[in-house]
Amino acid sequence: MTKKERNKVTMFNTVSKWLAGSKEAIIALPNLEETLEAFNAQLSKITALDSDVVSDASGLSADKEILKDDLSRKSLVVTRILKAYATFMGNNELLNSIDFTKSQLYYVADQILQSRAALLLKTAENIGNSAEAYGLTPAIVSELEAAAATFSEQVTLPRQGVISKKDTREQMADLIAVIDNLLSEKLDVLMDLAGINSPELLNQYKAARVIVDR
- pLDDT tens profile 15-58: 999 999 998 999 999 999 999 999 999 999 998 887 655 445 44
Confidence of residue 167 (pLDDT cuts 50, 70, 90): confident
Please state the domain extents for the chain.
Answer: 3-208
CB 52 within 8 A of CB 200: no
Q: 166 vs 135, which has greater pLDDT? A: 135
* CA pair distance 167, 101, nearest whole angstrom: 42
pTM over 0.85? The answer is no
Characterize 176-196 residue by residue with b for buried, 16 or more Cβ atoms within 10 angstroms of its Cβ, and e for exposed: bebbeebbeebbeebbeebee
Q: What is the pLDDT of the chain when averaged over all its residues?
A: 89
Kindly write down the DSSP assignment for every residue of the chain, as one continuous string. --HHHHHHHHHHHHHHHHHHHTHHHHTTSTTHHHHHHHHHHHHHHHHHHHHHHHHHHHHHHHHHHHHHHHHHHHHHHHHHHHHHHHHHHT-HHHHHHH---SHHHHSS-HHHHHHHHHHHHHHHHHHGGGGGGGT--HHHHHHHHHHHHHHHHHHHHHHHHHHHHHHHHHHHHHHHHHHHHHIIIIIHHHHHHHTTT-HHHHHHHHHHTPPP--
Residue 2: band (very low, low, confident or very high) from pLDDT cuts 50, 70, 90: confident
* HSE-CB for 64 with a 13 A CA cutoff: 18
What is the rounded CA–CA span in Å between residue 182 and residue 37? Answer: 11
For the chain, what's the residue count? 214
pLDDT confidence band for 3 (50 / 70 / 90): confident
Contacts of 195 (CB under 8 A, 6+ apart): 201, 202, 203, 205
Give residue 113's Cα distance to chain centre. Answer: 22
pLDDT digits (tens, 9 = 90+) for 112-149: 999 999 999 999 999 989 999 999 999 999 999 999 99
Indicate the pLDDT class of residue 155, thresholds 50, 70 and 90: confident
What confidence score (pLDDT) does residue 80 get?
96
